[in-house]
Amino acid sequence: MNELKLTLESVDPVQFWGANNEHYELVKSAFPKLKIVARGNEVKVLGDEQELKVFEKKYGQLISQLEKYSSLTANDVESILVSKKIQSADEPAAEKASNGGGGEVIVFGTNGLMVKARTANQRKMVESINKNDVLFAIGPAGTGKTYTAVALAVRALKNKEIKRIILTRPAVEAGENLGFLPGDLKEKVDPYLRPLYDALDDMIPAEKLKLYIENRTIEIAPLAFMRGRTLDNCFVILDEAQNSTDLQLKMFLTRMGPSAKFIVTGDITQIDLPKKQMSGLHNALRILEDIPGIDIIYLTGEDVVRHKLVKRILKAYGDIQ
């Protein structure tokens, strides 16, 4: 077994290894065949020679990132560790990730999955949420609006920009009468929230996601559960907003605390409310469009990222041109 000894000379070990050794755990998980021991500014690594060579190069890239930009986030660490090729150390991690093609990497998910902004309007969503605290992402099915929104929330949590993620939807049946559902409250509402769980499954390992949900770092709940609350230090996503009434949408938007980000997603072509009830989304888009700090992005058929037939189906139904 070979041994590699390294020293952290020019950077703070606490900043390098992250709060609660978060970066250290990411490094260990990326190199499961190596035994890595870090004490103070000394690092000792035991393992196969080829693995040690890869480790040493990645280690150097992490140090370069911290030296040049005085910052090293969990997302930076993941982007450097997951990348297949050895990139130039004089590029910031975000630029390295985006140069891989297919758009900017928003967050690194499970099993090395790179969750990217894949279309022009998805990239606009990424840019907009950096500048605005409320973002409406409106578009037909398959445009990735919810998936992109969840990725932005997970990135903010990983980078410790917020303390919690709250995901919510109106509990409205999509043209079906589901009747009586057995089980407790969670079992009754989970079917409505399943798409949000599916997105999180791609981005957070199962055990960690379970822990986040148990300790309420991530909360997934029906829209009605937001009433009377102040949502602060969190990233909040209202999905399927076309199925909320005017009063519900107003109630949701006014829950916003001083340090929060809100994303509202919706598809105005798929309203499942009873015929006599008006969707609140139309009115919100009309009266809020000129307020600074609120942005509205309309996704189109060009943003559909599902199977190629989805775009043709949407055209046939007249949802897109």
Cα–Cα distance measured from residue 238 to residue 224, given in angstroms and rounded to the nearest whole number: 11
Cα–Cα distance measured from residue 196 to residue 204, given in angstroms and rounded to the nearest whole number: 12
pLDDT for 40 beyond 80: yes
pLDDT digits (tens, 9 = 90+) for 105-148: 898 888 767 888 888 899 999 999 999 999 999 999 889 999 99
**What is the reported pLDDT for 74?**
82
pTM across the whole model: 0.69
User: Which of 26-40, 66-80, 185-199 has the largest mean confidence?
Assistant: 26-40
C-alpha dihedral, 283 to 286 to 288 to 292, nearest 10°? 170
Alpha-carbon Rg for the chain, nearest whole angstrom, is: 22
The kind and range of the H/E element at 164 are strand 164-169
**In terms of C-beta density within 10 A (0-12 exposed, 13-18 middle, 19 or more buried), how is residue 185 classed?**
exposed
Cα–Cα distance measured from residue 281 to residue 172, given in angstroms and rounded to the nearest whole number: 15
- Residues 256 and 282: beta-carbon distance below 8 Å: no
Distance set, CA 79 to CA 69, 97, 105, 129, 157 (Å): 15, 6, 8, 21, 16
Cα–Cα distance measured from residue 309 to residue 174, given in angstroms and rounded to the nearest whole number: 22
Cα–Cα distance measured from residue 133 to residue 236, given in angstroms and rounded to the nearest whole number: 10
Mean pLDDT of the chain: 84
Q: What is the mean pLDDT of residues 178-196?
A: 62
C-alpha dihedral, 34 to 51 to 15 to 87, nearest 10°? -160
- 303 Cβ contact list (under 8 Å, min separation 6): 119, 120, 121, 122, 139, 143, 144, 145
Cα–Cα distance measured from residue 62 to residue 13, given in angstroms and rounded to the nearest whole number: 12
**In terms of C-beta density within 10 A (0-12 exposed, 13-18 middle, 19 or more buried), how is residue 247 classed?**
exposed
pLDDT digits (tens, 9 = 90+) for 208-224: 899 999 999 999 888 88
State both tokens at 99.
């140069």
Cα–Cα distance measured from residue 115 to residue 149, given in angstroms and rounded to the nearest whole number: 11
**What is the reported pLDDT for 85?**
37
Length of the chain: 321
pLDDT for 183 beyond 70: no
Cα–Cα distance measured from residue 241 to residue 271, given in angstroms and rounded to the nearest whole number: 9
